[in-house]
Structure 1
């Protein structure tokens, strides 16, 4: 099957080319994102493969259908960027990669926590300048601290197990109190209790209408003074301006994020030669107790290998007329965003 890839980077081409040696599809890699002007480039392809920041609107889906596209393959878990109702109307099926490596995201979560706590990012820059003073670099023992996890799916569960290995008390809040999390030593509590008791709060929940701006002025006010806040799930779970005020007041002692509410115009591109116009984002960068990574928590060899394998198997299944176990249906789509990563 002919497949056109949009928004590809060198690592996409590497992993998909290797995985395709078994599947045998005709792959065409484009660096440009999918938009109104580039949709015509899919002409002749039966399938199109896109990533999280490709906006697949109703009009773009109509263009793809007119070009002969029958399948939209997402090389990610989230599908909030797709107008699912419009896809159904034009007869384009949508498939995704629901799970690739919870270890990748969980381990990145711990990297943010440890870096912020021990001021590794600041120490690195000091030493490079010949400054070996320790003033301002004091952290705390992670052992014995209380960490609250909001969301205990696969990623949250792996994060909990790692934290228990550090000797942390782990509190959890989820709509479903899984036996696996309980077996891992997670204490399920109400959200208000999690806010009040946690030294560190880490977000691992999907973005839905219920979790949109879950972290806001009201919830921040319920947190312990000097809390550390970590987000490796979805940017809009956090009200960025409310968190900025929390940082200024000292209520939030440190912030580590791998996602940002308006990341679509920033992440995955080299903007080092430009002036970034997002004032809210630039305000966050001005804090020395804020650590931001560019949606890279998923970015491990194992995760990319799995993403390529599952995506191409989804395409092969469609080509062979098999049931699509990773198909996304319009009725599954919340009004805002969904799924992690």
Structure 2
């Protein structure tokens, strides 16, 4: 079979060569593109004749699926697969795998970092102290004793909950399925409206799918306390981001930490969140640590080898 890695995985070429050896040792061909492209036509061309394509978080064009009759597996080196046209793959009996679990710690740590920045004014302080007309320090808040609402208690949500628990927060959660591990953290499961009303800090950790798109609507945001903050390290379209910007600018909530948007960076200059008050923005980097990239590469190459050996792993159920 022909295996093609269509974009870099943020590891060295030496590591790629080391991990791809398991593929070539089985008698298969491996092709690696070391420059990222978002051009759909180029991705179609790169995918040509491949039995397996390996991608990360670059949107994968439906034409690449429809025009390649040989394609058997789309191996996504990422947790979410919403950038792949799942229905087209399903119609052609193409499997999709992912690399869930590689960035649990990384995402949870950034969520915590965004809260700490909002609560202690780290970015503000760094900028203020450098000014000649120093305006004075910002009085902050502590996490201990706060009610933290975790929306989505999968692996990342649970990891985030553990960090908040270590800081002394009280945990409430909302998820389609209650987890025993969450209850061991003394998390109380509640309805989403209740969580929005009670939480001092809300952290989102659900996948993007039809049932979660726009779930944090203007109506849900209106339920939040005026001194509450919202953290989104999951997927941008989970939130009505225009409504979020309006809530921030009108003082209906006190702050937000946002790593994900309605599109991948660069963000258009007129995007409302860019101009919202009391907002810390990061360019979709929650997953991006040295350790996470190494774990991701291992999982992705292991997925390819498992498929080649007739035992597909980490297959997305559709």
TM-score higher than 0.5 = yes
Unaligned ranges ≥5, structure 1: 268-275, 333-341
Aligned position for 1:313? 302
Look up the SS of the partner of 1:159 in the other structure.
helix
The higher-RCO structure (CA 8 Å, 6+ apart) is 1
Which residue of the partner structure matches residue 271 of structure 1? Answer: none
1:142-291 to 2 correspondences below 5 Å:
142-263=143-264, 266=265, 277-280=268-271, 283-291=272-280
The alpha-carbon distance between structure 1 residues 324 and 131, as it changes in their structure 2 partners (threshold 3 A), is farther
Preserved CA contact (<8 Å) 2:199 2:228: yes
Partner of 1:41: 46
Residues matched between the structures, number: 313
Q: Distance in 1 between matches of 2:92 and 2:268?
A: 36
Q: Tell me the distance in 1 between the aligned counterparts of 2:2 and 2:234.
A: 33
Contact 2:40/2:60 (8 A) holds in 1: yes
**C-alpha distance in 2 between matches for 1:122 and 1:302:** 29
Structure 1 residue 144: Cα displacement: 1.1
Aligned residue number for residue 104 of structure 1: 106
- Give, in whole Å, the separation in 2 of the partners of 1:317 and 1:207: 27
Aligned partners of 2:10 and 2:167: how far apart in 1?
36
Deviation for aligned residue 1:60: 2.2
Distance 1:327 1:51, change over 3 A: same
Q: Name the residue aligned to 1:324.
A: 312
Q: Which moved more, 1:26-35 or 1:300-309?
A: 26-35
CA contact (8 A) 1:216 1:242 kept: yes
Write out per-residue CA displacement over residues 202-229 of structure 1, whole angstroms, 9 at most, x where no aligned residue.
1111222222111111111111112101
What do the CA deviations read for 1:235-255 (whole angstroms, capped 9, x no partner)?
Answer: 111001110110111012111
1:301 maps to what in 2?
290
Distance 1:312 1:142, change over 3 A: same
- 1:3 aligned partner: 3
2:64 to 60, 63, 67: 60
CA distance in 2, matches of 1:108, 1:74: 22
Tell me the distance in 1 between the aligned counterparts of 2:4 and 2:233. Answer: 29
Relative distance call for 1:190 and 1:93 in structure 2 (3 A) is closer
CA change 1:290–1:110 in 2 (3 A) is same
Q: CA deviation at 1:324?
A: 0.8
- How many Å separate the matches in 2 of 1:221 and 1:86? 38
- CA offsets 1:260-295 (integer angstroms, 9 cap, x no match): 1222xx25xxxxxxxx64522xx3222351111111
SS of residue in 1 equivalent to 2:248: helix
Are 1:143 and 1:167, in contact at CA under 8 Å, matched by a contact in 2? Answer: yes
Give the aligned partner of residue 270 of structure 1.
none
Residue of structure 2 in register with 1:114 after alignment = 116
3-state SS of paired residue (1:16)? helix
Measure how far apart 1:91 and its partner are.
4.8
| 1:85 Cα deviation from its structure 2 partner | 3.0
What SS does the aligned partner of 1:36 have?
Answer: helix
Contact 1:7 1:34 in 2 (8 A): no
Deviates more, 1:145-154 or 1:25-34: 25-34
Distance 1:188 1:85, change over 3 A: closer
Q: CA deviation at 1:303?
A: 1.6
